[in-house]
Structure 1
Amino acid sequence: MHQIILIRHGEAAKSPNHADPGLTNLGQQQAQLLAEHLQQQFPDGRGVRLISSPKSRALQTAMPVAVQWNKEIVQEPRSIEIPSPEGLPLAARLDWIRALLNQQWDQLTNTQRLWRREMIDYLLQLEEPGDEYHTTLIFCHFMVINSVVAHIRNDLNVVQFHPNYTSQTRLNLQQGKLTVEELGQQKAIDNLIQ
């Protein structure tokens, strides 16, 4: 069995005009606390692989644990946040995401469904016989986590829960089947998708 932990990035300095914001000061503190927590769970990172979305907020969340364990962060484009509809201006993305929260996966475009399928396919290939890793940490995004949980539950609702910053959603992968072991800590009701 292979353990996969989907870790939501820390608080980002989001702006309607910035496509790839980094972490806020609070987000950097969250990433440091996460690294300390992960060290307790996986001393020196033995048997743990680090994967991250290429977005700055995810990479910066992964960095403290990578430095602590002296491990490489592998950037995985398939773990990036859900793509916007073609032609949607960046300033309109937040409103689109808010509307998306009340939709179902079969209402989305082919591009978004393909993004989701590619992410699931990527996760399913992480269990390799004889692999030195027993756990993969994937530093990613709100919609990535929800898309995977919805797939596992065979639930069409886009939003399954509201993962908090640096929360850890634990999955098990065994014989080509993903299961949810534990959902990550949920975000407070105010400002759920920030």
Structure 2
Amino acid sequence: MHQILLIRHGEAAKSSTDADPGLTERGQQQAEALADRLVREFQDGVGVRLISSPKARAIQTAVPIATRWKTQIVEDPSVIEIPSPQGMPLKERSRWIRNLLNSQWDSLTPTQVQWRKGITDRLRQLYSSAEREPFHTTLVFCHFMVINSVVAAIRHDLQVAQFHPDYASQTRLALNEGKLIVKELGQEKSSDNLIQ
């Protein structure tokens, strides 16, 4: 059985003009605290693989633990944040995401459906990869909607917002012969600002 931790990125800078903001100072602190927790659980990181969304906020969340373990971060576009509808201005994305939270997964565009399928397909592939490589755990540094998409797919639930994972929270999955199982949801965010 392979363990997967879906880790939401730390707090990101808010911007209506930058499509790829990095972490705030608080977000950097969250990434360091996360690294402390991961070192306690996995010590030197032997057998643990790091995968990250290509977005700066996800990569920057992964850097502290990668540095401590002296290991590489594999950037994987299959775990990037949900794509906006074609032609949508960046300044409207936040409102669109908030509305999406109250909708269902079957309301997605074909591009978004493909995005969602790509996430679960990629996670299921980790099982066969683990057989060929000496990994028992994969840490996936990703986004709010990625995590909710996976949890909803495993539960066969159409509701978009399954829960509100906090910054740097860890949602634990098990992967057994290609089947994903939710073992534990990550800590929930209490603030009104649930997406970034």
The aligned residue for residue 6 of structure 2 is: 6
Q: Which residue does the alignment assign to 1:122?
A: 122
Between the two proteins, what is the percent identity of the paired residues?
65
Distance 2:195 2:111 in 1: 22
Match of residue 182 from structure 1: 184
Give the C-alpha shift of residue 175 in structure 1: 1.1
SS in 1 for 2:127: coil
Residue aligned with 1:180, SS? strand
Cα deviations by residue, 1:36-94 (Å, 9 ceiling, x for unpaired)? 10000101001000000000000000000000000000000000000000000001100
The letter for the 2-side match of 1:19 is A
1:189 deviates by: 4.1
Superposition map of 1:54-93 within 5 A = 54-93=54-93
Q: Is 2:189 the counterpart of 1:148? A: no
**1:190, distance to aligned residue in structure 2 (A):** 2.4
For the pair 1:52 / 2:33, whether they are aligned, the reply is: no
**TM-score calculated relative to the size of structure 2:** 0.97
The one-letter code of the counterpart of 2:35 is A
Matches of 2:132 and 2:122, distance apart in 1: 18
The one-letter code of the counterpart of 1:34 is L
Partner of 2:94 in structure 1? 94
**How much does 1:13 deviate?**
0.3
Q: Which amino acid aligns with 2:115?
A: W
Secondary structure (helix, strand or coil) at the match of 1:67 reads helix
Q: 1:131: how far off?
A: 2.6
1:167 to 169, 174, 178: 169
Asked whether 1:24 is paired with 2:45, we answer no
Give 1:192's match in structure 2, choosing from 187, 191, 194. Answer: 194
- C-alpha distance in 2, partners of 1:38/1:66? 11
Q: Could you tell me how far 1:176 is from its partner in structure 2? A: 1.2
- The separation in 2 between residues aligned to 1:32 and 1:76, in whole angstroms, is 22
Structure 2: distance between partners of 1:61 and 1:189: 20
**Cα displacement (A) at 1:130:** 4.2
Corresponding residue SS for 1:125: helix
Q: How many residues align?
A: 194
- 1:134-184 CA-to-partner distances (Å, cap 9, x unmatched) read 000000000000000000000000110000000000000001100000000
Could you tell me how far apart the structure 2 residues matched to 1:176 and 1:67 are? 30
Note the C-alpha offset of 1:111. Answer: 0.6
- Give 2:15's aligned residue: 15
CA distance in 2, matches of 1:176, 1:12: 33
